[in-house]
Structure 1
Amino acid sequence: MQLTILRSQLLSGLEKVGRAVNSRSTLPVLAHVFLEACDNRLSFFATDLETGIVMPVSAEVKTPGRTTVPAGPFTEYAKTLPTQAELTLTLKDGKLTVKSGASKASFATGDPGDYPPRPTLAEADHTFTLLPGVLKDLLRQTLPVTATDEARAILTGVQFDAAPAQLTLRAADGFRACVAQAGYESLPLAPFQAVVTARSLREVLRLLDGTHPEAVQIIADQQARVAFLLAEGVIVFAQTLAGEYPDVDQVVPKTATTEAVLSVEAFIRACKQMRVAADKPREALGRLDLQNSGANAVKVTAEGEILTASETTLTGDVTVTGQSMQIALNLAFVLDMLEVIKTSHVRLKANAPNTPVVLTPEGVPGLLYVIMPMVGH
């Protein structure tokens, strides 16, 4: 294998696939990146057996070939070379030599036959297309709600429910849930459901921010894989999770005895003020007093060991209907939702202090969050 490539192109490929490299695996080959040169392109592929990323870049290929090389040292060395450098890569006698001007380095390589094979899309059963902005919004809305505890592995992923009329994503961690819906750019060939790991989806979101596709094609095959085809030939392969996903829709209350509409900006500020009182910000407890006696108001309070008491009252741009009520919520969960919605107001619905609370952004159909109250606080 021999080729000439710009440093910028080499680094672009290495950095895009590098997050799928697993340097701590018991399989040493997973610390490598797979390189294949042909048709004036150098294709990078890395996988940790859960997520796989493919990235092709332009190169002047003199002799086609393929190999694997340790991703970490190879990437770090490439970063030290001049920004505008043109590099020559030559594979010979099991070593990959990189030459740039007066600099030259040789890397030990691995047998490409030992590397996990790149998935194929030949047996794809289901495919549909989304606008990139739509997919970004769906992932930003649902990913914060996924579980991190492997004891309930199915909750560490997001459920994709591709029905004929619309796509629904569901996420839950046992304390809260999110349901987000959107329309297609092109309709699915056939309905399907799959639970995709949150880690893979975070890579999709990261790569969407670094590329600018006109549309994203999503493909599911018979091998329990889902592929996301992005711009510039970038593909993310995600392994799906086996098991039955909980029926999230069942925990969503259909009615409410109390409703409040609040300014998102003011609610965020209040939650952040109360969170200061918490010893552990992710476990910040806030009490919401929804007042519908006289002037509408929502009073938010919190307590802590150092900041012993904190309170703020939201008035003016607040509407409370139904019964007055006090509810204790994890403020970190509330902020996770408020900081990703793109509306000026949010609607809060509740039936009792010990029943699920529903939060929906005003003017955004098909998006809701359910948060379990912290009963006994």
Structure 2
Amino acid sequence: MFVKIDRLQFLKKLRIVEKAISENKVKPIIGCVFIKAQDNKMTFYGTNLEITMISSVEANVMEEGTVAFHPELIEEYIKELSDTELSLKVQNGNLIIETEDSATEFSIMNADEYPKLDYSYDEAEKWFTIQGTELLETFEKVKFSAATGSENLAINCIRLEVSDKVARFVTTDTYRMTYLEKPIDNQCELEISIPLNSVEAITKLLKVESLEDIKVMYKKNYVYFISGETEIISRIIELSYPNYKGILQGATYNKKFIIKNNEFSKILKRVQIFVKNNTDAKNGALLEFKKERLLINGTSNIAKVVEDFPIEYEGDNLKISLNVKFLLEFMQNLDNEKNIIVELKEANSSVKIIEEGKEDYIYIVMPLALKN
């Protein structure tokens, strides 16, 4: 392989595909970036076998070929160069990178051992388009409440369901659930579960790389995110997802309070200082609703706090124990200057939280057991 390529383009593509790479001690080749130089184009590949990222760029290919290498040192080196163009050559089992005034050699892996990544989204019938910024915002708003352990694989994901020109994103860890709706332009019927690890990799990429008009497609147990010369392919989780619609539609509430998000967040952050290491109920605080007032009690092994403040409250008096960290994780995604509405029923019933006037982004959280 012998190629000349723009340095910044090489660095950009390298940084895209390495988001899919993770260390694999059993099969070290998986921890490599794989490059194919062909037809005056360099195609970069990164995979952990669950998610694959592919990105291409034009290059002056003088000799076609492939190469596989661990990217960390090469990225660090190329980042410090000031040259416009790089020359890359595979020679005597090494990757040689040359500029006008320097030449370096890097060890490479056997490219023939790299997994054969044979994907095709031709004839995919289920698809819709979303902007990269929108997808990033959506993933950030829902992924925090997904189950993080692989022991509960069915909910270690973002659930994506599309119908009637609406995309619905759902996560749950059984203690709480987040639901978000997003209007889309075309009619599509889709129900898939995207692994949380894939979501995290895509989120990392979208934070540093602006992808426009991402086409989301599904075909044969894979979901594809296609934007220009960049392709992201992820396996889906083929397990039944909990009946979240029953939770959303079946829950009833007879108590409600309204408060500005910023004000409530500041109070909860103060309480969290005391309850984050509580051995009885980590992050748990007691909320006592009375007419037009809310008392929040938080304790640790060595200290306690009581917050007493006025609220707009409708309903009978109520004592309920809630996870403060869970509340804050949702509220940080809301507009600080807007009111939030919290709906309740009993001490052992679920709690619903929304931003006032926005029923398309809903948070359901279960209470903790009350201590006698």
Do these two structures clear the TM 0.5 threshold for a shared fold by scoring above it?
Answer: yes
**Contact in 2 for aligned 1:130/1:186 (Cα 8 Å):** no
Residue 275 of structure 1 deviates from its aligned partner by 0.6
Partners in 2 of 1:170 and 1:322 — Cα distance?
29
CA–CA separation in structure 2 for the residues paired with 1:134 and 1:314: 36
- Cα deviation for residue 16 of structure 1 reads 1.9
Correspondence for 1:197: 195
Contact 2:218 2:224 in 1 (8 A): yes
Query: Which residue does the alignment assign to 2:48?
Result: 48
Alpha-carbon contact 1:8-1:83 (below 8 Å) kept: no
Q: Mapping of 1:247-326 within 5 angstroms?
A: 247-252=243-248, 253-280=250-277, 283-292=282-291, 296-306=292-302, 308-315=303-310, 318-326=311-319
Superposed CA RMSD in Å reads 2.1
- Distance in 1, matches of 2:270 and 2:41, equals 53
Amino acid in the other structure paired with 2:232: V
Find the aligned partners of 2:38 and 2:98 in 1 and give their Cα distance. 19
Secondary structure, counterpart of 2:274 in structure 1 = coil
1:279 deviation in Å? 4.4
Task: Write out the 4+ residue segments of structure 1 that deviate beyond 4 Å after TM superposition.
Answer: none
Query: 1:303-332: CA deviations, max 9, x gaps?
Result: 1123x11122332xx311122212111111
**Most deviating of 57-66 and 322-331:** 57-66
Per the TM alignment, residue 126 of structure 1 is displaced from its structure 2 partner at its CA by 1.3
Q: What is the identity, as a one-letter code, of the residue corresponding to 1:213? A: L
How much does 1:71 deviate? 2.3
Over the matched positions of the two proteins, sequence identity in percent amounts to: 19
Q: Flag the 1:23–1:213 CA change in 2: closer, same or farther, 3 A.
A: closer
Secondary structure in 2 matching 1:18: helix
Structure 1: which 5+ runs fail to align? Answer: none
SS in 2 for 1:244: coil
Closer/same/farther in 2, CA of residues 115 and 164 from structure 1, 3 Å limit: farther
Query: 2:40 and 2:277 mapped to 1: Cα distance?
Result: 53
Please state whether the residue corresponding to 1:194 is helix, strand or coil: strand
Match of 1:169 in 2: 169
Tell me how far apart the structure 1 counterparts of residues 262 and 61 of structure 2 sit (CA, whole Å): 54
Q: Please say if residues 285 and 330 of structure 1, whose CA atoms lie closer than 8 Å, have aligned partners that are also in contact.
A: yes
Q: Per-residue CA shift, 1:89-138, capped at 9, x if unaligned?
A: 01234332111233222233334332123322225231111233432332
Question: What is the deviation of 1:229?
Answer: 1.8
Note if contact 2:158-2:171 (Cα within 8 Å) is conserved in structure 1. yes
Q: 1:330 aligns with which of 295, 320, 323?
A: 323
Label 1:187 to 1:129 Cα distance change in 2 as closer, same or farther (>3 A): farther
Select the residue among 230, 233, 258 that pairs with 1:234. Answer: 230
- CA offsets, 1:175-224, max 9 Å, x none? 11111111103332xx12110011211222222232333322101111x1
Aligned to 2:125, the other structure's residue is in SS state: strand
Counterpart in the other structure of 1:349: 343
Is the contact made by 1:266 and 1:314 (CA closer than 8 Å) also made in structure 2? Answer: no
Instruction: Provide closer, same or farther for how the CA distance between residues 195 and 184 of structure 1 changes in structure 2, counting only shifts above 3 A.
Output: same
Q: Structure 1 length as normaliser, TM-score? A: 0.90
**Is 1:88 equivalent to 2:87 in the alignment?**
yes
Alignment of 1:55-74 (within 5 A): 55-74=55-74
Q: Unpaired segments of 5 or more residues in structure 2?
A: none
Whether the 8 Å contact between 1:129 and 1:216 is mirrored in structure 2 is yes
Aligned to 1:277, what secondary structure does the other structure show? helix
Letter in 2 for 1:250: G
Give the secondary-structure state (helix, strand or coil) at the position aligned to 1:207: helix
Range that drifts further, 176-185 or 251-260: 251-260
Map of 1:105 onto structure 2: 104
Partner Cα distance (1:351, 1:340) in 2: 24
CA contact (8 A) 1:8 1:84 kept: no
- Name the CA shift for 1:106/1:247 in 2 (closer, same or farther; >3 Å): same
| TM-score, length-scaled by structure 2 | 0.91
